[in-house]
Amino acid sequence: EKLASLTSFSLICDTDMSSYQKLIVPLIHRMLNLEELTLYIDVSSFKIFIDGNNLKENIINHLSRLNKFLFNILSIMHLHMKPYLPTNEEIENTFSNFTGNKIISSVEYFPIRQSGQCRIYTYPFTINNYARISNNFSGGLFKYVHEISLFDEHHFEHEFFIRIAQSFPFLKVLSINNWTSQKHKSSRTLNNVKRLVKIGSRTN
C-alpha cells in the first residue's frame, strides 16, 4: 500500500538495525510524495558501509519531491575475510554530488574486535545524543547534544577530553567503553568536560 499523502517522515532509532534493506528502504519507497525525510539510525552490516551511493540508489532516486534530507547513520561492519576496506576519503567522495547541508563522514577500524564503523551525518547535528565517538573524532560544535558515548581500542588521553569538552558545551551524560587505560592520567581530564552530571565508565 502506497503512502501518497505523507510528505514528512522521521525515523530515529538508537539500536542496531540489520533489517535496513528489508524494512526501512521498502517502507520509504511507499512514500511517493515525501518532501522531508529524517533518518537517525544504526545499521549492523556484514558486507558494506552505508554511503552516499547507497542513499542515492535506495532512497533519493525513489523520492522525486524530496527537498530536505537530514541523516545520522552509523553502520557497523564485521571485518572477517574482508578483502577490501574503504577509506574515509572514498566514503566522502560518494557525497560529491549532494547539495544542501554539509555532510561529514568518519571511518574507523578496530582490529581487536574485527569490526569497522562508518558514520555519515548532515551538519549541523540536531539530535541530543552522539554514540561511539573514537580517538579520531575531529571536533566541531554540537550544541544540541546532551549525551555521548566514547568507544575505542586505544586509550583516551587528556587532549582528547579537552576536544570533547569544546565540542559538546551542554554535555550532561558521558559513557566510556575503552579497552586500555590512560598512559598519562590527570586530575583535570574529566573536569574539562563541562556540565557533566553523570559518568558511566567501563574499561575492558
Quick check: bond before 169 cis, omega within 30?
A: no
- Is residue 202 scored above 80 in pLDDT? no
**Domain final position from 91, 124, 157:** 124
Shared domain check, 202 and 156: yes
Domain termination residue (choose one: 79, 98, 124): 124
**Residue 182: band (very low, low, confident or very high) from pLDDT cuts 50, 70, 90:** low
Q: What is the pLDDT of residues 139-180, one digit of tens each?
A: 999 999 999 999 999 888 888 988 999 999 999 999 988 866
14 and 27 fall within a common domain: yes
Q: Do residues 171 and 193 lie in contact, with contact meaning Cβ atoms separated by under 8 Å?
A: yes
What's the whole-number mean pLDDT along residues 181-198? 53
* pLDDT above 50: residue 45: yes
User: Last residue of a domain, which of 80, 102, 124?
Assistant: 124
Residue 194, pLDDT score: 45
**Together in a domain, 100 and 52:** yes
Domain tally, the chain: 2
Range of the domain at 180: 128-204
Residues 144 and 95 in one domain: no
Helices (H), the chain: 25-29, 52-58, 88-93, 158-167
pLDDT in tens, 49-108: 999 999 999 999 999 999 999 999 999 988 877 778 999 999 999 999 998 899 999 999
CA distance between the termini of the chain: 48
How many C-beta atoms surround the C-beta of residue 25 within 10 A? 15
Q: At 197, is the pLDDT very low, low, confident or very high (cuts 50, 70, 90)?
A: very low
Q: Does residue 155 share a domain with residue 78?
A: no
Query: In terms of domains, do 25 and 46 share one?
Result: yes
Cα–Cα dist 106/120, whole Å: 7
pLDDT band at 16 (very low <50, low <70, confident <90, very high): low
Statement to judge: residues 52 and 99 lie in one domain: yes
Looking at the fold, whether 134 and 66 belong to one and the same domain comes out as: no
Q: Is the pLDDT assigned to residue 204 strictly greater than 60?
A: no
For residues 37 and 54, membership in a common domain is answered with yes
Q: Are residues 102 and 203 in the same domain?
A: no
This prediction has a pTM of 0.86
